[in-house]
Amino acid sequence: MKIRPMEPRDRDRVLDIVTATGNFTPIEIATALEVVDEGLADPESGYFLFVAEEESGVAGYECHGPTPLTDGTYDLYWIAVDPQTQGSGYGRALLRFAEEDVLRRGGRLLLIETSSQESYGATIRFYEKSGYPLVARIKGFYRPGDDKLIFARDLREAEG
């Protein structure tokens, strides 16, 4: 398995993966694709896109970038792995790659925002197991009963 920058030819496969996870609404899928298109088209977009690839093709992708108005904080905007290959370490590898890339760019804090919806349970456990404590919950953020969860990791602390 290797991790490499996303290329335009990966776009359709990324759409398949995001859709296949079953975690995202149509409008969220459209937003994920907008970010992919912006990141592919403009190196100055602030969206850094990478895919995890195995012999049979792309298994997952992630997108991270600097959080506006901050000094050294980054967001993991999207991370998704084909459900058929989940549990094989692609998500973990993509997350570790993003962390290293943030450190290389001089960043120090990586944030992940997600939904408290039931369907995201496995995702939440994945972040917690990967060293991202839950640092905030905004009740009813997405809709009544669906909270925003914010996970954060101090990468320099984790490194040192």
List of residues contacting a copy of itself (CB under 8 A) = 27-28, 31, 67-73, 108-109, 111, 135-144, 150, 152, 154
d(CA 158, CA 141): 29
Residue whose CB is less far from a copy of itself, 67 or 88: 67
d(CA 116, CA 130): 18
Longest dimension (CA), the chain: 43
Residue 127 CB, shortest distance to a copy of itself, in Å, is: 15
Instruction: Give the distance, in angstroms, between the CA of residue 43 and the centroid of all CA atoms in the same chain.
Output: 18
Residue 148 CB, shortest distance to a copy of itself, in Å, is: 8
d(CA 27, CA 125): 24
Find the Cα–Cα–Cα–Cα dihedral 117, 122, 123, 127, rounded to 10°: 120
Residue 67 CB, shortest distance to a copy of itself, in Å, is: 8
d(CA 13, CA 64): 19
Residue 91 CB, shortest distance to a copy of itself, in Å, is: 22
Residue whose CB is less far from a copy of itself, 70 or 84: 70
Residue whose CB is less far from a copy of itself, 4 or 137: 137
Residue whose CB is less far from a copy of itself, 22 or 68: 68
